[in-house]
Amino acid sequence: MNNRLQYLLQLLESAPTDSFLLFAVAKEYEKAGDQLQALSFYETLRDTNPGYVGLYYHLGKLQEQQQAHEKAVLTYKTGIEIARKASDFHAVGELNAALLNIEDPEE
């Protein structure tokens, strides 16, 4: 386990529902190649703060890598709705592109 991940996990002990920390830990596990731990932290973030817009693209991509395409489609669609409600049109565009790519990868 790298020093950054250890530090983030220590911070998370004091604030177990901190959205930024949950996301950062998930990304660190993802970078380290531990998809199951990354998925667990993304799902915890989704459960504790479903309005965290940045989550949906990364969770969907991880689900795609795990060949869970139906879950990824649902994740992208949910993220699009949440991003629209938050008026985060950049995220809407990214999620729409990811959704289009998974639904029709030839285009």
* Each residue's pLDDT tens digit, 53-72: 999 999 999 999 999 999 99
CB 60 within 8 A of CB 76: yes
Could you give the CA distance from residue 7 to residue 106 in angstroms, rounded to a whole number?
A: 42
Please check whether residues 57 and 99 belong to one and the same domain.
yes
The dihedrals phi and psi of 61, each to the nearest 5 degrees, come to: -65, -40
Residue-number span of the structural domain to which 40 is assigned = 1-49
Q: What is the mean pLDDT of the chain?
A: 94
Give the model's pLDDT for residue 104: 73
Count of domains for the chain: 2
Q: Does 59 lie in the same domain as 37?
A: no
In this prediction, residue 105 has a pLDDT band, given cuts at 50, 70 and 90, of low
Closest CA relative to residue 34, chosen from 79, 69, 65: 65
Residue 76's CATH number: 1.25.40.10
Q: What is the pLDDT of residues 25-37, one digit of tens each?
A: 999 999 999 999 9
Same domain, 42 and 67: no
Residues 45 and 65 in one domain: no
d(CA 67, CA 50): 23
Q: Are residues 34 and 73 in the same domain?
A: no
Indicate the burial class of 62 (C-beta count within 10 angstroms; 0-12, 13-18, 19 or more). Answer: buried
- CA-CA-CA-CA dihedral for 55, 61, 67, 69, to nearest 10: 70
Rounded to two decimals, what is the model's pTM? 0.91
Assess whether 26 and 4 both reside in one domain: yes
Residues 20, 4: contact at Cβ < 8 Å?
Answer: no
Mean pLDDT for 29-47 is 96
What mean pLDDT is predicted for residues 65-92?
A: 97
**Whether residues 58 and 100 fall in one domain:** yes
- Whether the CB-CB separation of 15 and 46 falls below 8 Å is answered with no
